[in-house]
Amino acid sequence: MSIKYSNIVLLMDKRLVNKISDRILSDISGWKGRKDLYSLILYGSVIRCDYIPKVSDIDFFAVVYNEGIVSELKEILTRACRDIDVCEVDLAWEYLENLEDPLFMGYPYKFLTVYQEDFRRHHLVVYGEDIIDMLPKYRWNRIIRWRCGHLLNLAQHYLEKGDNRMMHIVAGETARLIVWIEKKTLNKRHIVATLERMGDQQALQIYQAYLKGREQPYSNQHLYKFIKSRVEKIMETIPWGQI
């Protein structure tokens, strides 16, 4: 078995990625659950070359025929990353048939919907088949409006629950969306530089807190006001068009 590199993965730390991939392939080779795994993909910061030790997650996406293999697969991935300074080993999964329309079938992961373009550019097939040609390309105004509504709903939910950690995460995601609309990048260095250039100091400070081990220096009300104001501003600039 061998891993398949997407076209724009040349700048990543191949030593780290190969170390992880070799361990995974070694474990999967004798694993009975392999027959129910269509594809296993490594994506995100470790592929974009903006991975921050102890802050960034290592992100995997599994396309499966049977949900029953997910917990065992998570154990395999966690072992593969055992000596890496990672915040969390994150495994998202979906059934193969739901890739036809991730927004309305299964779970609407942001990397398959609003940030799909980044996923297309920065992913690595560790096992199985690539899925890129299966994914639908969503209209820009439709997907941005959907993401704005989703962020605002999350903010309202976590405000009511009094969950300060998740409020900081949603606020950080809002700052990422601002830069994605402006520059179409998720690279952490580029996001900071873009927010500095835009002169949005509040978004910059919130995003930097999000990066620094996801610190939580702001109150829920402060974060909610930030999220609501930025989402409303984005919505004003995105035409309804045909959604």
In a domain, 147, yes or no: yes
The pLDDT tens digits for 43-81 are: 998 898 888 877 788 999 999 999 999 999 999 999 998
Give helix 70-80 / helix 14-28 axis angle, nearest 10°.
140
Residues 23 and 124 in one domain: yes
- Helix, strand, or coil (residue 127): strand
Residue ending a domain, among 115, 134, 153, is: 134
Dmax (CA) of the chain: 54
Residues 159 and 101 in one domain: no
- Give the per-residue SS3 of the chain: CCCEECCCCCCCCHHHHHHHHHHHHHHHCCCHHHHHEEEEEEECHHHHCCCCCCCCCEEEEEEECCHHHHHHHHHHHHHHCCCCCCCCEEEEEEEHHHHHCCCCCCCCCCCCCCCHHHHHHCEEEEEECCCHHHCCCCCHHHHHHHHHHHHHHHHHHHHHHCCHHHHHHHHHHHHHHHHHHHHCCCCHHHHHHHHHHHCCHHHHHHHHHHHCCCCCCCCHHHHHHHHHHHHHHHHHHCCCCCC
At CA 62, angle to CA 21 and CA 81, rounded to 5? Answer: 35
Q: Torsion angle, CA of 52/57/63/69, rounded to 10 degrees?
A: 140
In a domain, 243, yes or no: no
Residue ending a domain, among 83, 114, 134, is: 134
Confidence of residue 17 (pLDDT cuts 50, 70, 90): confident
Region 14-20 average pLDDT: 84
The pLDDT tens digits for 93-133 are: 999 999 999 999 999 999 999 999 999 999 999 999 999 99
Residue ending a domain, among 91, 111, 134, is: 134
Other C-beta atoms within 10 Å of 7: how many?
Answer: 7
Other C-beta atoms within 10 Å of 108: how many?
Answer: 16
pLDDT of amino acid 152: 97
Domain that holds residue 104: 4-134
Residues 172 and 128 in one domain: no
Residues 11 and 125 in one domain: yes
The pLDDT tens digits for 174-232 are: 999 999 999 999 999 999 999 999 999 999 999 998 887 656 789 999 999 999 999 99
Residues 98 and 177 in one domain: no
Beta strand segments in the chain, E: 4-5, 37-43, 58-64, 89-95, 123-128
Residues 154 and 122 in one domain: no
Residues 12 and 27 in one domain: yes
CATH code for the domain of 70: 3.30.460.10
Residues 119 and 184 in one domain: no
Residues 32 and 79 in one domain: yes
User: Does pLDDT of 2 surpass 70?
Assistant: no
Phi/psi of residue 207, each to 5°? -65, -40
Task: Count the alpha carbons within 13 Å of 5 in the hemisphere toward its beta carbon.
Answer: 12
- The DSSP bridge pattern shows strands 58-64 and 37-43 to be antiparallel
pTM: 0.88
Number of folded domains in the chain?
A: 2
pLDDT of amino acid 7: 38
Residues 27 and 127 in one domain: yes
Residues 25 and 120 in one domain: yes
